[in-house]
């Protein structure tokens, strides 16, 4: 029999509490490498246990800790796993207006590395658990809270390790995770994105070989020159447009919301022949860049290493390339594509090493997706929640490989949110932090408790 709960919530008080927690969370330096996620995990554990929610910190190796709540019903499957990662990427301190681990509160924004990616989500999820508990529900019977290590460098010591060594602790029907997206608002409504798919991240090293020698006597088999040709070739290459199923859903919704051109003309984005011409008509650069990344494979050189002395032509050098490939394509096939590009530009003797996964996707026709969508609308009547494929990778891919639907939420409908992720001056607004708590609380209360015995 369902209990009658007192649902009165002082949201002003919750806003202050959540902002204070996020400030303190951002002040814990969990830069990966090296990670130091255990410090963040212990902090979160103390807050959960203060609410009477039992949890444990599990280390994959010293300092690489994750915190997980435990279901009271041993061996049972949770309705939803609330997931986020504790680690953050490095920050160039001298380029920030406010120190990246200060948690500074300026004009309603909270500054710090991880404010968007994704400690704010961790606080939204934690506060949702706490509110359900305070309202008389028992969230630990229906929900799992997991804050994990090592997402930013691939998840080997975080979710991937936990699924291998403690799979029962993460048994769930659905997952809420980071969205890695953006949004916007205009007179047609407010666009919030729900990440239902992501491109495959395939990190690639191309090693070039040539003839070593004294730099005072140049020759035409310099591996550094071969590498330079390759870097330019990849930068100049125009990968073909390919419209995948999750991107089609997003672009149809986007065409109906944008105001750059009539909807019918914007739907030209779905035509591989016309797509790039239509993209040029979108006046907002951030949107152009995002959509361009969703309709093509990409291969971006990011790191090079060559030589040890100015007057020595090295015999070997390498560049590393961040490759993101679309659903339906495989890493081995993309390696062949890269080789054809390099061969066409005379890039010499080389080998390609590629590691990564395949693209992943979750269905949009589930009960939980619909509940989440309605929750956005209840708290923002102008909201349109669009399914979205992220060009970047998240820990959701590990769960999708197991057949578990994952939905990545982006609570801030801002075009510059994508630039603040991994960028300088990362920050999030207290207003959006509170909005996210309201949406998650409403969705989880509805889905897990309201219509169940």
At 99-147, the pLDDT tens digits run 999 999 999 999 999 999 999 999 999 999 999 999 999 999 999 999 9
49 plus 134 within the same structural domain: yes
Proportion of the chain above pLDDT 70, given as a percent = 97
Cα torsion 149, 150, 151, 153 to 10°: value is: 170
Asked whether the beta carbons of 203 and 320 are under 8 A apart, the reply is yes
Does residue 5 belong to any structural domain of this protein?
Answer: no
326 plus 377 within the same structural domain: no
Neighbours of 191 (CB within 10 A): 26
For the chain, give the secondary structure using H, E and C: CCCCCCCCCCHHHHHHHHHHHHHHHHCCCCECCCCCHHHHHHHHHHHHHHCCCCEEEEECCCCCEEEEECCCCCCCCEEEEEEEECCECCCCHHHCCCCCCCCCEECCEEECCCCCCCHHHHHHHHHHHHHHHHCCCCHHHCEEEEEECCHHHCCCCCHHHHHHHCHHHHCEEEEEEECCCCCEEECCEEEEEEEEEECEEEEEEEEEECCCEECCCCCCCCHHHHHHHHHHHHHHCCCCCCCCHHHHHHHHHHHHHCCCCCHHHHHHHHCCCCHHHHHCCCCCHHHHHHHHHHCCCEEEEEEEEECCCCCEECCEEEEEEEEEECCCCCHHHHHHHHHHHHHHCCCCEEEEEEEECCCEECCCCCHHHHHHHHHHHHHCCCEEEEEEEECCCCCHHHHHCCCCCEEEECCCCCCCHHHHCCCCCCEEEHHHHHHHHHHHHHHHHHHHHHCCC
Mean of per-residue pLDDT scores for the chain: 94
Query: Which stretch of 162-166, 334-338, 389-393 has the lowest confidence by average pLDDT?
Result: 389-393
Residue 2 has pLDDT above 80, yes or no: no
* Residue range 186-213: mean pLDDT, rounded: 96
Dist. CA 124–CA 85, nearest whole Å: 13
Q: pLDDT value at position 417?
A: 82
Asked whether the beta carbons of 156 and 213 are under 8 A apart, the reply is no
At 244-293, the pLDDT tens digits run 999 999 999 999 999 999 999 999 999 999 999 999 999 999 899 999 99
Residue 55 has pLDDT above 70, yes or no: yes
Does residue 181 belong to any structural domain of this protein?
Answer: yes
Q: pLDDT value at position 451?
A: 66
215 plus 170 within the same structural domain: no
Radius of gyration of the chain (CA): 23
Which residue among 330, 356, 382 closes a domain? 356
Residue 182 has pLDDT above 90, yes or no: no
378 plus 340 within the same structural domain: no
* Residue range 406-428: mean pLDDT, rounded: 90
- Return all residues near 12 (Cβ < 8 A) that are at least 6 apart: none
Which residue among 310, 332, 356 closes a domain? 356
- Return all residues near 263 (Cβ < 8 A) that are at least 6 apart: 255, 256
380 plus 262 within the same structural domain: no
CA distances from residue 173 to 80, 110, 143, 371 in whole angstroms, order as listed:
6, 33, 10, 14
* Residue range 358-387: mean pLDDT, rounded: 96
Q: pLDDT value at position 452?
A: 57
Does residue 139 belong to any structural domain of this protein?
Answer: yes
* Structure-model confidence comparison of residues 358 and 221, the more confident one: 221
58 plus 111 within the same structural domain: yes
- Could you tell me the CATH number of the domain that includes residue 247? 3.30.70.360
Dist. CA 261–CA 184, nearest whole Å: 16
* Residue range 418-431: mean pLDDT, rounded: 92
CA distances from residue 374 to 66, 71, 178, 381, 431 in whole angstroms, order as listed:
31, 27, 19, 10, 20
Q: pLDDT value at position 74?
A: 64
- Return all residues near 246 (Cβ < 8 A) that are at least 6 apart: 196, 197, 327, 361, 387, 388, 389
165 plus 211 within the same structural domain: no
Dist. CA 213–CA 217, nearest whole Å: 8
Q: pLDDT value at position 6?
A: 45
Q: pLDDT value at position 1?
A: 28
Cis bond upstream, residue 34 (ω within 30):
yes
Helix axes 430-445, 367-379, angle to 10 degrees: 140
Instruction: Show the tokens assigned to 291.
Output: 């959509």
- Could you tell me the CATH number of the domain that includes residue 144? 3.40.630.10
Dist. CA 302–CA 284, nearest whole Å: 25
Does residue 216 belong to any structural domain of this protein?
Answer: yes
Q: pLDDT value at position 4?
A: 38
* Locus of tokens 């022949």: 273
Please give the model's pTM, rounded to 2 decimal places: 0.92
Dist. CA 318–CA 208, nearest whole Å: 6
Please give the tally of structural domains in the chain. Answer: 2
75 plus 158 within the same structural domain: yes
Does residue 296 belong to any structural domain of this protein?
Answer: yes
Neighbours of 296 (CB within 10 A): 21
* Locus of tokens 């681990």: 101
325 plus 365 within the same structural domain: no
Domain boundaries, position 36? 11-188+360-450
Does residue 284 belong to any structural domain of this protein?
Answer: yes
Does residue 2 belong to any structural domain of this protein?
Answer: no
Which residue among 306, 338, 356 closes a domain? 356
Does residue 194 belong to any structural domain of this protein?
Answer: no
| Backbone CA torsion sign across 264, 269, 270, 275 | positive
229 plus 310 within the same structural domain: yes
* 357 half-sphere exposure, CB direction, 13 A CA radius: 21
Dist. CA 116–CA 88, nearest whole Å: 10
352 plus 374 within the same structural domain: no
18 plus 112 within the same structural domain: yes
Q: pLDDT value at position 399?
A: 97
């Amino acid at each position: 029999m369902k209990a009658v709960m007192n649902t009165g919530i002082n949201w002003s008080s919750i806003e202050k509490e959540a902002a204070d927690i996020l400030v303190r969370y951002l002040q814990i330096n969990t830069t990966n490498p090296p990670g130091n996620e255990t410090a963040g995990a212990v902090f979160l554990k103390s807050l959960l246990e203060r609410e009477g929610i039992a949890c444990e910190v599990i280390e994959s190796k010293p300092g690489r800790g994750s915190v997980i709540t435990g279901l009271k019903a041993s061996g049972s499957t949770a309705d939803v796993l609330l997931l986020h990662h504790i680690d953050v990427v490095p920050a160039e301190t001298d380029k920030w207006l406010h120190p990246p681990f200060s948690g500074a509160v300026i004009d309603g924004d909270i500054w710090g590395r991880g404010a968007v990616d994704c400690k704010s989500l961790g606080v939204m999820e934690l506060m949702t658990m706490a509110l359900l508990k305070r309202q008389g529900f028992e969230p630990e019977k229906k929900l799992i809270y997991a804050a994990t290590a090592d997402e930013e460098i691939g998840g080997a010591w975080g979710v991937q390790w936990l699924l291998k060594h403690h799979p029962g602790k993460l048994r769930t029907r659905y997952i809420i995770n980071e969205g890695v997206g953006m949004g916007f608002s205009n007179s047609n409504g407010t666009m919030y994105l729900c990440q239902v798919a992501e491109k495959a991240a395939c990190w690639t090293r191309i090693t070039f070989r040539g003839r070593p020698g004294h730099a005072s006597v140049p020759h035409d088999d310099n591996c550094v020159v071969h590498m330079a040709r390759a870097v330019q070739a990849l930068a100049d290459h125009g990968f073909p447009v390919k419209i995948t199923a999750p991107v089609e859903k997003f672009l149809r919704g986007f065409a109906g919301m944008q105001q750059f051109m009539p909807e019918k003309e914007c739907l030209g984005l779905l035509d591989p022949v016309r797509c790039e011409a239509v993209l040029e008509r979108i006046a907002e650069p951030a949107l152009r860049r995002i959509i361009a990344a969703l309709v093509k494979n990409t291969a971006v050189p990011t790191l090079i290493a060559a030589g040890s002395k100015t007057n020595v032509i090295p015999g070997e050098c390498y560049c590393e390339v961040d490759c993101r490939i679309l659903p339906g394509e495989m890493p081995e096939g993309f390696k062949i594509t890269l080789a054809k590009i390099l061969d066409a530009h005379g890039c010499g003797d080389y080998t390609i090493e590629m590691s990564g996964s395949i693209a992943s996707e979750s269905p949009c026709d589930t009960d939980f997706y619909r509940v989440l969508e309605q929750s956005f609308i209840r708290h923002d009547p102008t909201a349109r929640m669009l399914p979205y494929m992220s060009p970047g990778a998240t820990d959701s891919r590990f769960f999708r490989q197991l057949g578990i639907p994952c939905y990545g939420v982006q609570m801030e409908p801002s075009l510059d949110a994508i630039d603040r992720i991994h960028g300088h001056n990362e920050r999030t607004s207290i207003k959006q932090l509170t909005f996210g708590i309201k949406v998650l609380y409403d969705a989880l209360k509805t889905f897990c408790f309201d219509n169940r015995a």
